[in-house]
Structure 1
Amino acid sequence: MDDSHEIFDQLIQHCQIGDLESFISELNIKESILKIQDATGKTVLHYCAEQADIRFAKEIVGRNPELVNNKDIDGFTALHLGVIAGNSDFVQLVLGCDADLESQDNELHTAVHWAIVCGDLEILKSLIKHGALVSIPDIHGAHPLHYAAQVSNNRSSLELLRYLIKNKADVNAIDNDGRSPVLWAASSGCKEALLEIYNAGATITSSDKDGLTALHCAASRGFTDCVEALIGLCGVFVDPPDNQETTPLFYAVSLGHSECTEALLRFGADPNYRDLKGRTPGHFASFRGRLECLRLLHFYGADLWAPSERGDTPFLEAVSGGKYDVIEWLLDGRPEGIRSSNSEGRSCLHIAALYNNLDIARLLLERDADINAVMRGSEISIFLTPLDVALKKGHIALAKFFQEYGGVPATKVTDSRAVAR
């Protein structure tokens, strides 16, 4: 059996313990071992990338400088691994051996990408000084500046972003989803990075393939300082609609970010804005049970009983979501709303029956919900009471509960008040 792999392992061991003499002796016996790659595709030089003592790497590149551009199975060259390890001396060594600065790993990351992700300004400067390009996209279409915008949440990281901008990084580069560095910064809550990129000439109103702007991104994650900076310092419009006609306020209330909700409303966001289905922020907040956000919407003039295109109100959305406290709060403000229904006649009790929610059904009946309200079924000639819905869905316990309150099938309802809406 060839002893090459045994010698390969010995070379790595010599490197790890600092035994340069034995390392050189092995190479003198069989220098061709340097071209051997292990099961992960790494050469001995790859393993030297993490070693602070670069005498071993010098010995290797002195004998075979072409090895600096060999890739392992992940597409990493020795330069990639040196950057990831933060081994500045090693990086300087391979840069002096004509390392391919644009070499990309399997996810198309260059050494510059890795310098940014690892937060190493010294190495970034070395790479750029040797001619590394700063605007190469990876497999996601993301440039180094995208990553710098994402990680620049402290002074040292911010220097990386500034250095890229200084070296002509494209501040309006877009990734595969149409997201610019501005959107990455807003999504990560990096206000300083956001302002740096904006001041460098970035289009602050850019949107991604879904129509999401930086303001949407910041609002959806609850980054109030970014929201306030975008509107107050960058002058962005407070209600930019995405592809579904939902504004940043929809995202803030849906995810329960009350501080962002208040900030957007304070800056003039429309609490009654409607999406493509005619829903308002109140619909979203109710379904998700965001009571604090609902109170804010109410304070700023939202109509919390506005019907959507289907006639569903925020109250009916709260019932769909099973949000007990929201239901109570809405009914405290408008008790008569308990008898409301959508354009198909679907009432709150129909919804409770659909989702087999006995607790909600009990609350609604205590608030005087119509036990025998009638709605139109999937076929125009079919009508259903809450009992019918419960039986149709196989919710037997709930059906029995409705019967105890006087619930009957639609065929026995003679009152035409709720029929044929």
Structure 2
Amino acid sequence: PGNMHWLLLHGAQPEARSASGTSPISVALGHGDAGIETLQLLFAHGGSPAGRSGLARFMEACLQRQQQDSRAEAFALGLLSRGADPFAADAAGTPPLPLAVRLGWMRLLERLLAMGVDPDSCDARGLTGLHLATSQGRLDIVKLLLRPGGSPDRRGADGDTPLGIALANSNRVLAEWLNWNQWKLPRRPLQARDLPAAAMSGDSGAVQRLLDLGLPIDTRDHQGCTALLRAAGGGHLPLVQLLLERGAAPDIAATSGATPLSAAVSMRHIAIVNCLLNSGCGLEQRLPGDVTVLMLAAALGLPEITTRLLQAGADVHAVDAQGLTPLHCAALYGFTARDRSRLLALLDALLLAGADPQRRSHTQATPLLLLLGGKADPGTPCSDDLLLVAMERLLDEDARIDVADKHGITPLHLAAQHGLQQVAHALLRAGANPSIRDNAQRSAHDVAMARGYMEIAADLASPTAAATNTVSMARFLRD
């Protein structure tokens, strides 16, 4: 360096080239760590490492001389700052990234990747950084290369993949990190929205690795769904447990308004409902239309989930934007229900929790009116037998039989409209007034005639006989 300093002071050019085309900088780079002082002198007098292969040449020299200390790495980082090419290979055909892996220079690796270097850059033997890191057992480098898109199934010139190398070396930890057999790596830099995508597939291992790589746990996908919401809706209980343990927020709603709890309820995943409730998720978080999850469970006819929500403190008196309570929602489900025990269990759960059978909606509908098809189109399939039993359960709670909605429709009108002969008989026995007319001035008899239910029309024309001569099916079934 002393002689070099004297020459530079007397006008020698730091980038002068010999007849073979080599420069002092190129020669000094080929000495690796031993050439640092000379290079610093050359740079101080205007020399530059810019151009092809300078960085790779320096790194290859450090590797050959086993000069892997932090001083050499810091100098390599300085070469990049001075304009050295991060992409160009050395004379043997190996670019800087594989050399950085072999040298174990993490800071330089991070810098190269940040500059856009391909994480699958191959050395002269066709091996990528992941091949080399796996051979060295360097989990830290494997993680670093996976996030920008390194491929664990890329084959080298010898046909081996990084995963194959890990398996051959019996390195279980690395093999787990390189095995993405369910949710596949996207062959591009990982993005935050990949986490909900992996959760949708139910791949707990992939989700855990993505979290370990730093992907935000509460990231939303294009539909506003978080990983927890996707896992809850998909029925992936172990994944739900993992995400909650890792700190996922249980109350983030999707663009549609769905929450993890509502998704689990909708898909009837009671184990996940329990898990979310135990995590302290909000019970009264409103869905579109001001619907609660208790209303949702009731509308879907889910007595087990309804009971669990009530046990957790769900508000049985909550009202949605239409003035409907959970009992109204259960009644809506009941009109087309086919499972007698399920419907009765649902009604029992809500009534025992204090639901009000007299509560009116904004259209003045009570649960009894909705149970008998107050919102259903004429001709909608329904079960006279089942509705009879369910109606008597509401009547046991003193539900009013002559109540009318805003259109003046009574339970007897609805029985006539939907052809519910046994229900009509039971209402007459309970004292329903067949002479009440709706806002269109129609009696229940008029409705039955218009719908073609002649037997019901005849019963309504002689209500005393109908009430006297008919056995109560509900009483028969219950007794």
Which TM-score applies when normalising by structure 2?
A: 0.53
Q: Counterpart in 2 of 1:206?
A: 318
SS in 1 for 2:277: helix
Q: 2:356 aligns with which of 223, 237, 242?
A: 237
Letter in 1 for 2:190: L
Q: Computing the radius of gyration over CA atoms, which structure comes out larger, 1 or 2?
A: 2
Per-residue deviation, 1:55: 2.1
- Show the 5 A alignment for 1:30-45: 34=149
Match status 1:312 vs 2:312: no
Equivalent residues of 1:285, 1:293 under 8 A apart: yes
Q: What do the CA deviations read for 1:54-81 (whole angstroms, capped 9, x no partner)?
A: 62549x9999995042xxxxxxx33223
Q: 1:67 aligns with which of 190, 198, 217?
A: 190
Q: Counterpart in 2 of 1:90?
A: 206
Q: What do the CA deviations read for 1:152-191 (whole angstroms, capped 9, x no partner)?
A: 4xxxx32211221222211001111110011011112222
Q: 2:226 aligns with which of 104, 110, 113?
A: 110
Equivalent residues of 1:278, 1:307 under 8 A apart: yes
SS in 2 for 1:298: helix
Q: Counterpart in 2 of 1:183?
A: 295
Q: What do the CA deviations read for 1:187-229 (whole angstroms, capped 9, x no partner)?
A: 1222222222222222111121111111111112122211111
Equivalent residues of 2:218, 2:248 under 8 A apart: yes
Q: Give the Cα separation in 2 of the matches to 1:307 and 1:62.
A: 67
SS in 1 for 2:255: coil
Letter in 2 for 1:134: P
Q: Counterpart in 1 of 2:344?
A: 224
Q: For the structure 1 residues 297 and 64, does the alpha-carbon distance in structure 2 shift closer, same or farther, using more than 3 Å as the test?
A: same
Match status 1:150 vs 2:273: no
Q: For the structure 1 residues 25 and 294, does the alpha-carbon distance in structure 2 shift closer, same or farther, using more than 3 Å as the test?
A: farther
Equivalent residues of 2:434, 2:463 under 8 A apart: no
Q: Give the Cα separation in 1 of the matches to 2:210 and 2:150.
A: 16
SS in 2 for 1:192: helix
Equivalent residues of 1:136, 1:143 under 8 A apart: yes
Q: Give the Cα separation in 1 of the matches to 2:126 and 2:459.
A: 82
Q: 2:402 aligns with which of 272, 279, 284?
A: 272
Q: Counterpart in 2 of 1:350?
A: none
Q: For the structure 1 residues 211 and 248, does the alpha-carbon distance in structure 2 shift closer, same or farther, using more than 3 Å as the test?
A: same
Letter in 1 for 2:308: E
Equivalent residues of 2:253, 2:260 under 8 A apart: yes
Per-residue deviation, 1:240: 1.1
Q: Counterpart in 2 of 1:131?
A: 247
Q: What do the CA deviations read for 1:259-290 (whole angstroms, capped 9, x no partner)?
A: 32221112211111111222211112211222
Equivalent residues of 2:327, 2:350 under 8 A apart: yes
Equivalent residues of 1:252, 1:258 under 8 A apart: no
**324-333 or 94-103: which moved more?**
324-333
Q: For the structure 1 residues 28 and 248, does the alpha-carbon distance in structure 2 shift closer, same or farther, using more than 3 Å as the test?
A: same
Equivalent residues of 1:142, 1:174 under 8 A apart: no
Q: Counterpart in 2 of 1:299?
A: 429
Equivalent residues of 2:200, 2:230 under 8 A apart: yes
Q: Give the Cα separation in 1 of the matches to 2:449 and 2:176.
A: 67
Letter in 2 for 1:115: A
Q: What do the CA deviations read for 1:4-40 (whole angstroms, capped 9, x no partner)?
A: xxxxxxxxxxxxxxxxxx9x969679x999499xxxx
Aligned residues: 284
SS in 1 for 2:290: coil
Per-residue deviation, 1:244: 0.7
Q: Give the Cα separation in 1 of the matches to 2:282 and 2:357.
A: 26
Structure 1 residue runs of 5 or longer lacking an equivalent are 1-21, 37-51, 70-76, 336-421
SS in 2 for 1:269: coil
Equivalent residues of 2:149, 2:188 under 8 A apart: no
Equivalent residues of 1:149, 1:194 under 8 A apart: no
Q: For the structure 1 residues 25 and 276, does the alpha-carbon distance in structure 2 shift closer, same or farther, using more than 3 Å as the test?
A: farther
SS in 2 for 1:177: helix
Structure 2 residue runs of 5 or longer lacking an equivalent are 1-121, 131-144, 152-174, 335-342, 374-381, 466-479
Q: Counterpart in 1 of 2:458?
A: 328
Q: Counterpart in 2 of 1:12?
A: none
Letter in 2 for 1:269: A
Q: For the structure 1 residues 317 and 199, does the alpha-carbon distance in structure 2 shift closer, same or farther, using more than 3 Å as the test?
A: same
Letter in 1 for 2:397: F
Q: Give the Cα separation in 2 of the matches to 1:198 and 1:236.
A: 11
SS in 2 for 1:168: coil
Q: Give the Cα separation in 2 of the matches to 1:85 and 1:148.
A: 16
Q: For the structure 1 residues 324 and 92, does the alpha-carbon distance in structure 2 shift closer, same or farther, using more than 3 Å as the test?
A: same
Q: Give the Cα separation in 1 of the matches to 2:289 and 2:296.
A: 11
Q: Give the Cα separation in 2 of the matches to 1:161 and 1:277.
A: 39
Q: What do the CA deviations read for 1:79-136 (whole angstroms, capped 9, x no partner)?
A: 2232222222112111211222222233222111111111122101111122211001
Q: Counterpart in 1 of 2:37?
A: none
Letter in 1 for 2:358: D
Equivalent residues of 1:206, 1:214 under 8 A apart: yes
Q: What do the CA deviations read for 1:374-408 (whole angstroms, capped 9, x no partner)?
A: xxxxxxxxxxxxxxxxxxxxxxxxxxxxxxxxxxx
Which TM-score applies when normalising by structure 1?
A: 0.60
Equivalent residues of 2:428, 2:463 under 8 A apart: no
Equivalent residues of 1:83, 1:123 under 8 A apart: yes
Q: For the structure 1 residues 35 and 334, does the alpha-carbon distance in structure 2 shift closer, same or farther, using more than 3 Å as the test?
A: farther
Q: Counterpart in 2 of 1:48?
A: none
Q: CA RMSD in A?
A: 3.4
Equivalent residues of 2:417, 2:448 under 8 A apart: yes
